[in-house]
Amino acid sequence: MAYSEKVIDHYNNPRNVGSLDKSDPNVGTGMVGAPECGDVMKLQIKVDPVTGIIEDAKFKTFGCGSAIASSSLATEWLKGKTVSEAEQIKNTEIVSELALPPVKVHCSVLAEDAIKAAINDYKVKSGMVPGSGAKETVHA
Amino acid sequence: MSLKFPIYLDNHATTQCDPRVVEAMLPYFTEHFGNAASRNHPFGWEAEEAVEKARKQIADLIGATAKEIVFTSGATESNNLAIKGVAEMYAERGNHIITAATEHKAVLDTCKHLEKQGVRVTYLPLNGDGLIDLDMLRDAITDKTILVSIMYANNEIGVIQPVAEIGKICKEKGVLFHTDGVQAAGKIPVNVLSDNIDIMSLTAHKMYGPKGVGALYVRRRNPRVQISAQMDGGGHERGMRSGTLNVPGIVGFGEAAALCQKLMPEESVKHRAMRDRLRATLEANLEETYINGSMEHRLPHNLNMSFAYVEGESLLMGINDVAVSSGSACTSATLEPSYVLKALGLGDDLAHTSIRFGIGRFNTDEEVDYVAKKMIDVVTKLRELSPLWEMFKEGIDLSKVEWTAH
């Protein structure tokens, strides 16, 4: 499969790889996918509680090059956005930015899901929305 | 010696044509271009003589006689011809075929096609090592069984089936035994007599010959196997396979078989040593690697390994100057992980992380060492990126996590 230059660049130089402290109240963690499906993304955001701006974002991804690139790109886009701006990121924007072929669209969907899951986790932790309990479930 | 890139380590997919094979073929495109079926002029005689020489070379490789070799366009055709040809010819005797879950698609899909026509097919499961259970085979044979089709060695995991025992059981029960010998012939000793094989599919391009030419061994004595032709035409190849013979291809196939027979003792030892070194280097430098399939009953040049917590396609992307293949879903046309690895009872997660290495005649020790080093670097890098690796390192049991598939 031929990859776009941008996918290759993100694969070779992934941005914002790593983990934030899950127990930090200002950190939201989203983990989506499943090992049996061949892709799992963990995406974390750290939000400034005063301004509501995402000051840091980190990811770790098990998956193909396009999945790695989608999540790497997502962290780039998240940084500096407010939570409500971040909620507007659409998988189709990731598809066009990375020139993903149709068979790789699901990678961008997963990245969007990861963003949503991370934001939701942050909101639950900061009491903005009611949580569903502390059970460690991976959403998809 | 300096390395030449990309490095080819995918010799189960196909092999480079040996220059000696090409050399042997060349005159049959130009000077000796005759049709082997032309009986009344020297052009035809030359072509026929060359075909008969090749037939003998191929027969010698597998302990058969020249008359038992039927030329085809490749192993897919050979498998189709063998299974459909037997099903049609022996339809009055029975309508049951036994095969295994890890067979090549050319066998499985042929069986599925026959199922639609009322043939009953039993797909034997495999044990965790990739071997069939002989008792299960024995129990599956009924008085309606006409054919058992079990491959000699698997194209993904290189596992060698107990072919001689399978053949013996079939002989006792009076059932024909077909084997897809594509990965085994030319690499390990294969003998249709001691292995009790009745029908065997072969192809040139897996043994350093050209693509587009294959053969079917069809036993002539004890028992005399009959096969219904699947293509109508001039009645070539004892009526089993019509069509003008691919003379240059057949000449190349013959030469390739002769070379394999000559070089096998030396090559199998060399390739095994290279394979074992590759495995040892990978295992010494990476934790959480798993061998897929039996190591004991395996082709000397095959290694199939899973690198847990690293997805196969991303791994291939990282070693893009090396040609290998993966059982990951993302690398297959169907977007399904390898059905062979699944049949071993491996979880999909291990299938997604598997890499198949196939060592061949033109690989060097330096190449294998380069591949090992590159694999170690890329797996290490990708594990730093893997949330699963992180969880594993934190001591989380991934099988207990509630994943929600998307």
**Over the stretch B250-282, which tens digit does the pLDDT of each residue have?**
999 999 999 999 999 999 999 999 999 999 999
Give me the total of CB pairs closer than 8 Å, taking one residue from chain A and one from chain B: 102
**Hey, is the C-beta of B349 within 8 angstroms of any chain A C-beta?**
yes
Say whether B219 sits in a helix, a strand or coil.
Answer: coil
Torsion (CA) A121, A127, A128, A129 in degrees, nearest 10: 70
Using a CB–CB cutoff of 8 Å, tell me whether A33 touches chain B: yes
Query: Which candidate from A11, A38, A68 shows the least CB-CB separation from B329?
Result: A38
- Confirm whether B325 is domain-assigned: yes
Q: Which residue has the tokens 């059932």?
A: B175
Same domain, B62 and B192: yes
Query: For residue B401, is it within any domain?
Result: no
Instruction: Please tell me which of the candidates B348, B387, B405 has its beta carbon nearest to residue A60.
Output: B387
Last residue of a domain, one of B204, B236, B259: B259
Determine, yes or no, domain membership for B62: yes
Residues B214 and B284 in one domain: no
**Which residues of A are less than 8 Å from B385 in CB distance?**
14, 17, 60-62, 68
Instruction: Say which of A17, A31, A38 has its CB closest to residue B330.
Output: A38
Question: Does B42 map to a domain?
Answer: yes
Residues 6+ apart with CB under 8 A from B27: none
CA distance A43 to B111: 46
The answer as to whether B108 is a domain residue is: yes
Q: Which of B259, B290, B313 is the endpoint of a domain?
A: B259
Neighbour order of strands in the sheet with B354-358: B289-291, B302-307, B354-358, B325-326
Angle in degrees, CA B224, B230, B231, rounded to 5: 125
- CATH code, domain carrying B321: 3.90.1150.10
* pLDDT band, very low/low/confident/very high, at B399 (cuts 50, 70, 90): confident
Query: A125 at the B interface (CB within 8 A)?
Result: no
In a domain, B115, yes or no: yes
Please say if the pLDDT value at position B306 is more than 60.
yes
CA atoms within 13 A on the CB side of A130: 1
Q: How does residue B134 score in pLDDT terms, banded at 50, 70 and 90?
A: very high
Residue B45 in domain: yes
Residue B402: pLDDT band with limits 50, 70, 90: confident
Q: What span, in angstroms and rounded, lies between the C-alpha atoms of B146 and B133?
A: 19
Q: Which of A32, A107, A114, A115 is catalytic?
A: A107
Q: List the pLDDT tens digit at each of the 140 positions of chain A.
A: 578 999 999 999 999 999 999 999 999 999 999 998 889 999 999 999 999 999 999 999 999 999 999 999 999 999 999 999 999 999 999 999 999 999 999 999 999 999 999 999 999 998 888 765 444 445 44
Whether residues B306 and B327 fall in one domain: yes
pLDDT of residue B337: 85
Q: Which residues pair with B405 in a beta bridge?
A: none
Tokens of B231: 């293509």
Residue of A nearest to B329 (CA): A38
Contact A106 B313 (CB under 8 A): no
Q: How far apart are CA B255 and CA B24, in angstroms?
A: 7
Same domain membership, residue B203 and residue B54: yes
pLDDT, residue A140, reads 44
Nearest to B390 among A33, A60, A135 (CB): A60
Look at chain B and report how many structural domains it folds into: 2
Distance of alpha carbon B91 from alpha carbon B108, whole angstroms:
19
The last residue of one of the domains, among B211, B235, B259, is: B259
Judge whether residue B297 has pLDDT over 50: yes
Which residue among A3, A17, A39 sits closest to B385, beta carbon to beta carbon? A17
- Coil, helix or strand at residue B47: helix
Q: Quick one: average pLDDT of B79-86?
A: 98
The pLDDT of B121-146, averaged and rounded, is 97
Q: Are residues B197 and B330 in the same domain?
A: no
Nearest chain A residue to B401 by CA: give it.
Answer: A137
Q: Answer yes or no: are the C-beta atoms of B314 and A68 closer than 8 Å.
A: yes
Is A134 in the B-facing interface, judged by CB distances under 8 Å?
Answer: no
* pLDDT-derived band at B303, boundaries 50, 70, 90: very high
As a whole number, mean pLDDT of residues B346-371 equals 94
Helix and strand counts by DSSP (H, E) for chain A: 5, 3
Percent of chain B past pLDDT 90, that is, above it, reads 92
For the ranges A5-9, A70-74, B34-38, B396-400, the lowest mean pLDDT is seen at B396-400
Give residue A1's pLDDT. Answer: 59
Tokens of B127: 């044990």
> Do B194 and B74 share a structural domain?
yes
Write the CATH number for B226.
3.40.640.10
Order of strands, sheet of A27-34, starting from the edge strand that comes earlier in the sequence? A27-34, A39-47, A54-62
Write down the pLDDT at residue B37. Answer: 95
**Span B52-65, average pLDDT:** 98
By the CB < 8 Å criterion, does A135 face chain B?
Answer: yes
* pLDDT in the model for residue A25: 94
| Per-residue pLDDT at B359 exceeds 80 | yes
> Residue B90: what pLDDT?
98
Residues 291-320 of B with CB under 8 A from A: 309-314, 317-318
In this structure, the answer to whether residues B284 and B196 fall within a common structural domain is no
Same domain membership, residue B269 and residue B254: no
Q: Which of B326, B394, B404 to mutate to test the interface with A (most CBs of A within 10 A)?
A: B404
Q: Which residue has the tokens 């989203």?
A: A30
Please give the mean pLDDT across all residues of chain B. 96
Contact B132, B150 (CB under 8 A): yes
Task: Give the Cα separation of B304 and B153 in Å (integer).
Answer: 13
Q: Are B118 and B57 found together in one domain?
A: yes
Say whether B17 is catalytic: no
Task: Give dist(CA B153, CA B171) in Å, integer.
Answer: 20
DSSP B261-297: HHHHHHHHHHHHHHHHHHHHHHHHH-SSEEE-S-SSS
Residues B139 and B24 in one domain: yes
Q: Which two tokens stand for residue B303?
A: 């290694």
Whether B113 has a pLDDT exceeding 80, the answer reads: yes
Confidence class for position B191, pLDDT limits 50, 70, 90: very high
Residue A109 at interface with chain B, using a CB cutoff of 8 Å: yes
Task: Domains for chain A: give ranges and CATH numbers.
Answer: 5-125 (3.90.1010.10)
- Average pLDDT, integer, range B123-144: 97
Distance CA B313, CA B319 (A): 10
Reply yes or no on whether the pLDDT at B322 is more than 90: yes
B193 and B133 in a common domain: yes
Q: Quick one: average pLDDT of B162-173?
A: 98
Domain hosting B58: range is 19-259
C-alpha to C-alpha distances, B26 to B32, B33, B343, B393, nearest whole angstrom: 9, 10, 43, 58
In whole angstroms, how far apart are CA A12 and each of A6, A65, B257, B313, B319? Answer: 10, 9, 43, 14, 11
Contact B153, B184 (CB under 8 A): yes
Tell me, yes or no, whether B85 and B207 share the same domain.
yes
Q: Measured between CA atoms, how close is B338 to chain A, in angstroms?
A: 12
Domain assignment present for residue B84? The answer is yes
Indicate the pLDDT class of residue B331, thresholds 50, 70 and 90.
low
DSSP for residue B325:
E
* Cβ atoms of residues A42 and A48 within 8 Å: no
Could you give phi then psi for residue A117, rounded to 5 degrees? -65, -40
What is the b/e burial string over B114-136, where b = at least 16 CB atoms within 10 angstroms of the residue's CB? beeeebebbbbebeebbbbeeee
